[in-house]
Every structure is written in structure tokens, then in C-alpha cells.
Structure 1
Amino acid sequence: MLPSSLLLTMLFTATVVASPVSLPAGCPSKCGYITVPYPFGLTPNCSLDEGFQLLCVDSRLFHDANIEITDIDLSQGQAKAWVNMSSECFDTTGRSMPSSQTLIDLMDSPYSVSSAHNNFTAIGCDTVTTLNATNGNSSKVAGCLSICADMANLNYDGLCYGGGCCQTAIPTGFKSFQVTISSYRRCGRSAPNSCSYAFIASNGWSLLNTSDPNISVPIMLDWSIGHARCKEAQEDPTSYACSRNSICRDSGSGHGYFCLCSHEGNPGNPGNPYMENGCQDPHHPPTSKSEIIIISTTSTGGSFLVLLITVASWRLLKERNVKKRKEKNFDRNLELLRKEQSSSDANLIERMKTYDLDELKKATNNFDKTRIVGRGGHGHVYKGILSDQRVVAIKRPKITDEAELGQFINEVFILSQTNHRNVVTFFGCCLETEVPLLVFEFISGGTLRDHLIDNQRYSPLSFKDRLRIATEVARAIHYLHSEASTTIFHRDIKSSNILLDERNTAKLSDFGASRSVPLERTSITTMVQGTYGYLDPEYHQTGRLTEKSDVYSFGVIMVELLTGRIATPYQQNSMAKYLVMDFLESLKENSLFKILDPQVLKEGTAEEVESFARVAQICLRLSGSERPAMKEVGEMLEAMRTKRVVDEDDKMISKNRDISLAGALSLETSGGSRRRQYYSERLLKDSGNSLSENSGVTSNLGHTSSSLSSWRSSKRQHSTEIELQLSGEWPR
């Protein structure tokens, strides 16, 4: 009979180490002089999955067309890559020269830019740089300002001392980065080869040759297996990637893991820990398959009894460990929620619905990939059907660091305090996972961003719908600012966070970046966070978050609704680069109708479109004090909608006029005119409480534009020319 200890060893080895593979014959392992070790590969079926498949072009190794790989380190879970840097150059006459731009997109790949081994650097004498880091719907913005007296005397040797260069850290765990450069003072551009540079580069690398703006720079990438950390990954032997004689290490990116060959638990052995028998123990050579077969066939019946008992014991032990982990996660998450809870919301947590993890697994068919309806840098959204037949959306995180946990706890706390028809309904959460799972109402119509750019999948939005959507979003933001149980600043208002149901009713979503503010305070100072293109420039500069920061972002949404363009496009072309700047310039040059969406041109009257544009314009003031409150914005949009309804009523009455009913119809028409007068007077009265009543606007804008002009006149701190110049200096 086999010793029970040997059976246990064989059993647990087979259970924990199940996924390492033998590669099929003919898999290439070289690209030029670069070795490509598994889990990476050059052809289908030769890599762990599609994310690890690389391209070999002319003996050069690429992740994609923009990222070249020159080294892969299995022992550190890192790879060395080369990317373009951003540059802005001018000739001796001050004219812009061809430049390059840093655009790193690692979404849906195993890579992320290492925050520990890279930094963000800018070089120049008149340079403002912005680093926009995104993970799906989540984003962070960093940047720095570089100033010096004379570019010719710039002496940069890789170290920044504050003159002519600046550096800042890279946010952890992000997969996509865009670097932009703009001028701070609009001066210092007359020196020969006058250039500004901005780049992400590995620590210690220096840009010594500043004459070539198209040079590539090295960066270090973290790569990892999956999204689960070691502890969780080891519980699923069907997907765990580490082989025998190896150990697991959590990736420094904040998600996933990598493997190391080891001896007696200590890393350092040579070999490939992802291959079957890839890690060799010098003292215990691996048992061959034929030996295992011989041992198995010579076992007696008692051995099988021991094996059955062992399997049953292992299953019981696993179930107990899973239960303990659920209880531990539940207690920790509940404690974090209680810390967020204020004394005025003492019963908030008790009222919150909590779901069992098993229930949500059943609702999503164990989180089957076919149930994914949304993907982001922080996780996936699954469609689920609960036991009561309710269709829900379940937000499941895939990053499990402390910062991510704090963001989800914050989102749970914020959502539990909201109840508005234009804010996505929060049903509850599951606290049994390391980071809570969030359960929402399922919104089937996609995002506003999808509707604006995907004309193949969605019908164009009518101007009437665009006006209604803007009004509904304004209501939702006003509710957060003034009517919720605590003041809430959303901080990440953008078209991809506005969901539309089957009737195109707007629902504001994604509160991970939101902040609740005590009622007696009007602002908080916090780390700048938001999405490039929607970020309030005043908040970006000062770190001071106010309700007017959301007003600015809403103004960008209004411009998107007017133009059908998105503020954060991926394509690199000048027409899509600065949406807000193009919009403000069109107002100055009376060329607004040249940038409008065809559907808006077709259905909106000149008066409606111009009024809508003026509301957007005042929301986009550089100074927050010059912007209206969301209540006032909502009232202006409501008045525009009401006026449109009255006009449509009058047109219908006129169309159906009949001579035999001339008298009655005359009274109806008179009544329609009286309604028009009433609503116009109401608009002036409502807006007059907060807006001055100065005149002096184009006559065809009507009463709505008169009110807007009054607002602009009373609140303006800069001339139109100065406003446009300042707007151009801020990256949108």
C-alpha cells in the first residue's frame, strides 16, 4: 500500500498545479536576438492567451504598432519597451513644426506602466504638460510646469533641479496614457530648434539629444497573469499558472500575479515557472509519467480508500477556508463602511441590502464572459438575473489594492444616499469579496457616448432628445449638489458615465471618484482626479473641488450634444484635439453652425441652437465664480423645452385650422400666444433672481439668450479675447 503521505503529496500537487503546459511543436522562441519565453508567444496557441501574443516584424518585437518590446524578464514580471515622446517645436519665425505625441494604450492586455520604475518628465522653458491616465471609465490627471529664461542655456542631464524641467510620479496600475504639451506664457519660441518635450521614461534614463523630437524613450512595463492575486488564484487549479517547484508573487501593478522558480520556498532557481517541469529541483528530479502510472497500477484497494478520504477532507477544508475568507471580507468591508458613515446617517448601513456571493454567481452563471456588458480598467459589469427575476447590472472589480478598495467603499457610501429618477438606482452590494460587488438597475440602452459616435448601432439622437437629456442630467447634478442627504460632487461627469434606457431617459452613473461634502462647506481640497477633456481647469490648477467643477464638465457634455464629437477621442487629429477650444472659437467668429451635428442642424431652430450654445458657454467659464449653479442651468434648459412645446402646440393648431371653427380656433391661437408670453415672462422672472438684466444681444436669440447675456455681463472677469486666449492654454 502507498503511504498516505505520498498520496497526499500527489493529490495536492495535482490540485494546486494544474495549468502549466507543454508547448506544441514548432513554437518559435526568438525574434531577432530577443528570446520570447512562455507565457509569451509569437503565433496562436504558443502563448498563454491573446494578450501575451507578440508580433515579430523584421526581427523586431512589438506589442502593437506603437510599443516595441526589447526585453522580457520572467523573474520580475516586467518587460522593457520603447514608445514615442510628446514634443512641440517651433521654427525661428514662431511657426509650429511637425511634432510627435505619446499615446500608450495597454487596455485588454496583461501590461501596465510601472509606477515604481518610471517617471513623467517635461523639458522646456515655456511648457505646461498634462499626463492623462485612464483605465476604462476611471482616470487620473497629473502634470507639471517647466520654465526657464533661455532654452539655449538649458542643461538637462537626466536630473531635474527645477529649471527648464520638471518631474512627477506615474499613477499606479493604469494601462492607458496620453501626454499633451501646451505653452504657458506664449513666449520664448524664437530660438532655433525651440522645442518642448514630455515623456514617460524608465528611472535613470536621460534625454541628452534634444535636437531630435521624434526619438523613442524606454519605459518599464509590469505584466501579470490574470487579475486575481496569488491567494485567490491558487484556489482555482484550472487556471493557476505556476508550475511545480515555483512560488507565486503579487504583481506590483495592483492586480494579477507572476511566478518564480524556487527551491524549498526560496526564489532564485533557473527555469520557466509557467512550463510543465519548467523549474528543476536539483535534489529531486521530477517523477516521470511512466513511474506515476506504475505506482498507480500497483496500489491496493486500501490506497483508494485513503485517497477518497483525503479528497473528502480536502473539500471540507476548502469549503471552510472559503467561508472564513467570506466572513473576513464581510467584516472588514462593513467596518470600512462604518468609518465612512456620518452620525446623521446612523441607520444607513442597516438599511442597505447585502447580497450573498453565491447568489450573484448564480445570477451571472458564475460570472460567465458572455454576461459581460461593460468593460473598464477597474473591472467588468455583468448582466445578471436575480432569484426574483429582476435584471440587474453587477459591477465586479478586478484590481484589489487598498486604493481600489477605498474607491469602491466610497461608491457604496455615496450611492446609498441617492434616490433620483435620473441617477442610476443602487440596489445593494456584496461584502463577501475582497472588494465589494455593486448591484445596480440594468440600463439597456448604452451610454450617451455610444449614441453620439456609433451611428451603426444606434439611431441619431433628435435635437428634442438632446435637449431633454441635457435637462435630465442637469436635474441629476443639481440633486447631488443641493437635494441629496449630503452634498455630493460627482467629479467625473462625462458622456460615458451617462446611461440611456430604452426610452433614452438619462441616468447618471459611476460615483467611484465622487466626494461627499459637509453641508456647511462649499469646497474641498483633494488630489486632482477626472477625465481629460472634461476636467475643470481651475480645479486642475488649484486642487480645489467645488460644485462649479461639475458645472464645467456638464458644459462639455452640452458641447458634445451639439457637435456629435467626443471630448476624449483616441484618434490623433487636430479637428478632434480640442473640442471646447473649437466650440468657443466658433462662437467668437460667428461660425457655430459649421461645427454642429447634422441632426442638430436639421431639427433645431437657429434660436434654439444658439440659446443652447450660450448655456454651454457660461458653464465653460475658466473661473468657477463666473459659472452658474446647476439649478440655474436646469431652469434655463427647462424654459427652452417648455418654449419648444408651446411652439409645437401653436404649429399644430395652425396646421389644423378650419374655417368652420374659425372662432374657436381664434381663441385657441390667442391662448397659445398667452402661454408663450407667460413662459417667456416666467423665464425672465426666474433667471432675473440670479442673473442681472443687462441687454445687448443679437435680437434673434429671444428671451432665453437675453437672460444668458445678462449673466455673462454681470459675471465676466475677462474680455472675450482674453477668455479665448486663456482657454487655449488649457488642454481639453
Structure 2
Amino acid sequence: MHIAACRTCFLPGEDWAFRSMAGVFARIRNAQLDQQNLKKRFEKLVSAVITLLVLTALLVAHPVGSVEYAPGCSTTCGNVTIQYPFGFTEGCGLPQYRLNCTNDTDLVQRYASNPVLLLSTLSGQYQVLTVTPSSLIISARANLRASVNGSATSANGSGLVQYEMNIVSFEIAETSPFVISEENIMFGYGCNVTASFTLEDGAGADGSVGSCTNGCDLDSSNPPYCDIYPCCGKNMTTNHKKIGINVTHHIVNPFNPPLEMGYASIIYPKTYFTPDRDGFGLGSWGMKLLWYSAGSCNNNIGICSDNSQCFDVSHVLYGGGHSCKCNEGFEGDGYRNGTGCFDVNECGISPVSNACAAQAICTNTPGAYKCSCPSGFIGDGYKYGTSCSRHDNRVAMIAGTSSASLFFFLAGVGVIVWWCRMQKRRKMQRLTRRNIRALGKMKSFFSSLSQGNHTVTLYTLKELEKATKNFSEDLKLGAGGFGTVYKGTLDNGLEVAIKKTNQVDMNGSQQFLNEVSVLSQVNHRNLVRLHGCCLEIEIPMLVYEYVTNGDLSQHLQGERAGLHLNWEKRLQIAMETAEALRYLHSAANPPIYHRDMKTSNILLDDNFSVKVADFGISRLVKPDATHVSTAVQGTPGYLDPEYFHSYHLTDKSDVYSFGIVLLELITSLKPLDFAREAEHINLAAMALPFIRKGNVEAIIDPQLIDEDVSDLEKIMKEIQGVAELASHCLANHRQDRPSMKVVVAELFAIKGIEQRAGFYGSDMEQEMVSMIDDFTPNSTSSSSVSQVTRHSVIF
């Protein structure tokens, strides 16, 4: 109640008492007001202190000079992704971590990347390949390779010359947050190369740190990342900011220095790659740089984000630094001004979710997860713990439900299997009809399988899968550009070779049609026989007779165990191969150009009798045609150079390829071998000068004329004759090459006649054809499928 309202409560004689009481109340009220003012002042003081503390925390969390990512800051340059504190432009990241993302035309062409991410150093700009939370990889091939370029610096009395290249260096500023990682390797590459390295750092570690030298042999002492050329490596002992590279090449022929004899570089082994033996000095590699933030963790409190830890980084030469790393269960760059650290949903990661039992519930927690059992189950929820099991006994209900589910599941599976089989059967029928339509021009060939002595069978896919054990790798005989060949055994015990085409396109179909077209026209003891085909797949499969003893290339290169081919067998192989080609050119109707004659297409049986194979790119020719204009196809090393330049395929193109086969029979060398010296890579280019100079002994396979060979003089005469025949077959112009008729006659003359005539002019060619006619014991009867003329020679 208000005091003024109570005045009437007192008697008039008691007014003094009222005044005394009013004074008391006034003093009490003033005291209360003072207390309220004091409370307000205290609250303001507390608020000011709190504000000061918050501002202090913010200053610590955002140190002076720190720059957060502004809106719109890019974090990718091409296929490289960066994170804080890196940036491309002002306001993005910290200045000392600034990288250059550029579309400059010259740099894009130089590094084959658009755009290009570059790091600037005291020694130049380097392409950045990868950025991680603790390191970055820069390209080292272009800017950090010291190569020998053939400038002689010294010579000694023996005529040996030493070549040296100026030092290539790499240098980072002292204030830069980058150092060269000690995980890099100081690396020398090439024959007779000495690589020297000099480390020059502001911390006082000046001078050479050693060198390494290569010989010319690959052995177990080479580092594991050396492939086909000798190399040496030396580990870096610590992290540095500057390095010099020097390479020296010695013991070189001064009259014929190679274009590039070796190089030295710094490589991070995990990035080193060279393509193949043709790629000396090619490939790519990088150098690893470590990066860190300046100062220790104690001096940078608050720079790392929540759920991360700060780690001090110590470098022997450059003092300390620090880096931020997210705790386990979190992802991000770890920096408060970067992406920070965000929780990983472990329940969405398959290996982790598998840790929970099948019935358990996975619940994600900050930095972790937990497994729990649902209602009605007991256990810890973990697969390898107590798992989850029902608390009450409902075995009967579970059994009934499971049985019903299993029944419906099996019924569903049965329906699906039936449907898939029906679809597969319909697809096979559809493909068979389509392929038969594609083979329309050979309809009579497939519809009259019983005519003549050449029968062809249509096999089902199931038969061939059974014959090859579902095309087992153990039964693979070989693989080529157009298919893989498997060995198979049919139900009747017949061993066959099954060619399965790799190319499911028009090229594969054309190869199949072409091979069937050719093989349906021929019948000769030295040509591989076609048993049949399968039309139930996109690209049909061909089934040939199985030739047991591999191909000629395997025997010449020692890839098959067994007796070495002596000269008598080699000459017999040459004669039978030549007779097969003569048949294709002159007796087949229409004539056929093989187009891919090589030793790997000459198959041998147990008696080393020849079976010429692979007619995938052969061409049927009109009888009166002089050539076929067609795109160049064939195998490098065997290709007719005139065909290569003119696109005119003739019978003399096969003659040229056969000439290469003759050289292989004499030398046992490959037609192309990049392990040989540059001028001897091509077998024809290597052998013909020796043959024309009469020095055939220089190229003969030593095993043909070793001390154990009897009748050496006769063998040498035959080899000399075959070498001269090969020389004529390899003439640059087709009109200077003999026909296969003449080649067959020449080989027979070498085998049976000591003095033989040359083969220039049509009269002499007719004479040699007559020689074959006189040698032939009988002629072979013709059939409706293929026809062998009376000029076929049966050995």
C-alpha cells in the first residue's frame, strides 16, 4: 500500500509519528535505488569483460595477416585441387602459398595441360601436378633434367671422348614455406653415365653430396624402378631448398655420338614412368616438395579448426613449422580458415558398416559410430562381438517365414533362369539367321557340305564352350590383332583350333567373311584346313584343324622346347611354304594374295610339315588383274615397300614377305628388333649388304654350321643359294622380283641341282615352270569346293 494513502490511518495527534515513519521509508527506498544502480554498473562491467574476452579469442583465432577464402575463390585448376592455405588470387589463401593458374598459350602447349598450375621459385616456374595437406608434386622432366647432348669436353689418347652438360639447378627462397623432400632420389639414367649432385643451402651445407655411375648392364644392383636401361640412384639425406645437377657421359665413340646418351634428375620414385624401350628419355616424373606453416603450434593457437590437431614440423636446416591434421573420423584440410574438419558418416562406408551385425542399427556419431540392436534383440550389435539375437523364442514362426520366403525366392530364381535361357536361345537363333544372311554369297557352300572332300560343319556355341572348357586361359594358343586362338577337343575326339574374334564391329565381321571366302576356295596340303564355324554370336568363330608343333617363329626364336631346326628342315619348310604361295597365286581360282606372310603364320606339325594359316586380310583377285588397290595392311618388317607407297597389292608383295621369311630361316633373327643397333634394326637392311658382298657367313645362325654339322660344304652352298634368292625377292621394284613359280623352281634347284640358272627373263621362267611340271609325280583331282592344278608339288 502506498504511504500517502495511509495518512488517514493515524490520529491527528500522531502526525509526528507519521513523519518519522515516512523518513524511514524514504531512506529505505533510496538504499534500494542505490543497490539497483550498483547492480546495473556491475552487469555493464561483466558485459565489457565478456566482450573483451570474445574479441581476444577472435584475434587469436584469426591472427594478423591471416586471409580467409573470399566468396567465389576457386579451388581447382584443371585436374588439380588445392586447399587452404593455397590460393590463385589475392584474397584467396595466404600470400606465401600463392600459385599461378594460367591459360597462357605457350605454357599450355609446353605442358600439354589447359589450364596449367605453376609454382614460382628463384630458379623459374614449375608445373604443379598434385597438392596434398603436407606436400605438392611438381613436374621435373622438363626443367630438372641435365642431359648429355654430344658436346665433347675432353679426350684421351685412346680416342675415347667424355661429354658433359652444364649444371641444372633448383632453388627455393629462404622465406618460402617449401623444401625439397628427402623422399626424392638423386637419379642417373643411361649407359656409362655419371650423375653428380651439389647441395647449396643457406644453413651452410655447401658442396657435393656424391655421385653415382652406371655401366651398360642391367643387373640386380639397379634400383627397382629402372626398366630397360641402366640407372643409379642416391638417397637424399635431408630436406633442402637448393640443389645442383650435373651429368657426364664417358667411353663414347667420338665418330658417331648418339643424339641423347643419358641424363640426371631428381625424381620422386612413386611418380616415375617410362613408356617402353622406344621411349629413352621420354615418360614423366615429378619431384616432391614439403610445405608447412611458419612458427610452432604454441605460437599459432587457434589456427587449426575444431576436431583437428596441430603438429610441429622440424627441419634440420630451416627450423620449425607446423601443420594441421583432422582427427580420425573427420575429413578436411584442418585449418579454421580453410574447409576445417567435418564429420565422416562411417555408417555410409561399406567396410565400417559391415562391422555391425546384419540385424544391428548403425548410428553415426561425431568422429565415430556405434552399433546397437533393434527392439526385440539383445547383444552389442557388432558382428565380431555378441551380435544381435532375439530375446524371445519364435523359432517356429521364423522357420515358417523362412521356408515360405525360400520357396518364393527359388520360384522367382527359376522363372528368371528360364526367361534368361529363352532370351539367350532366341538371341542365338537371331544371330545365326543374321550371319547366314551375311554369308549369302556362300549359301551354296554351306548347303552342299557333302560335296567333294572339303566338308564344313556348323557348330553350336555350347559345343565350342565344352571343347575349350569355356575358353580357358590354359588352352589359349595365341592372340593376334583380330582374335584369340584356343585349342579344343570335340566330342568325337578331334583336336581343333578355335579362333574367337576380339572385334565386335564391322572390321571383325569383315575379317570372318574374308577368311571363310578364302578358305572355301582352296584345298592344298600346305594350307590350314577349315573344319567349320559357329554363327550363334555377334562375330562368328572359326574352327580349324589343330597343328601340333606351334609356328615357325617360335622354333627360330627358341620359344619351344625340343630339337633345334637344322638346315635340312629349314630348307624343306621354305620349299613347302613357297609351294603353298605358288598354289594361291597360280592354281587357286580366283587367285589369292595372302597379304600377311610371316613366320608366325607358318604352322608346323610333328614332322615339321608346313601349314600356312591366317587368311583374315587376304584378297581374292580377278584372274586377269595385275594388282588390287587397297589400304595398306600387314605386319611391319614384312611389308612390301612398293605396296606401302603405291597402295597397289600384287603377288610380288607376297614374294617380298617370303624373302624376309628366307632371311629368318638363315639367321634366326627377328625381322624388326629394336635391341639391335640402329642400322641393324631392320633385318633386310642388315642382311642384304652382306649377301651382295658375298659375305653370307657373317649373318648365318651359328648353330647351322657348327663343328658337329656333317657335309658342311653342301650346306654352305645351299645357304648361299637361298640367300641370293632372298636378295632377289627383296628387290625394291616388283618387276625385279621373281614370281612364286620361279621361287619354287629355284628352291628345288638348290635342293637337287648343284648348278642352277638365274631367273631373269620370261623364257627362263617358262623353263623353270617346266622343271616343276617334270618334278610333279601326279596331279591332284579337283573338287567343287576348291581346285589344285597339276603344278602342285607334294613333298
Considering only CA atoms, is the larger Rg found in Structure 1 or Structure 2? Answer: 2
TM-score where L is the length of structure 2: 0.45
> Which is bigger in relative contact order (C-alpha 8 A, separation at least 6)?
1
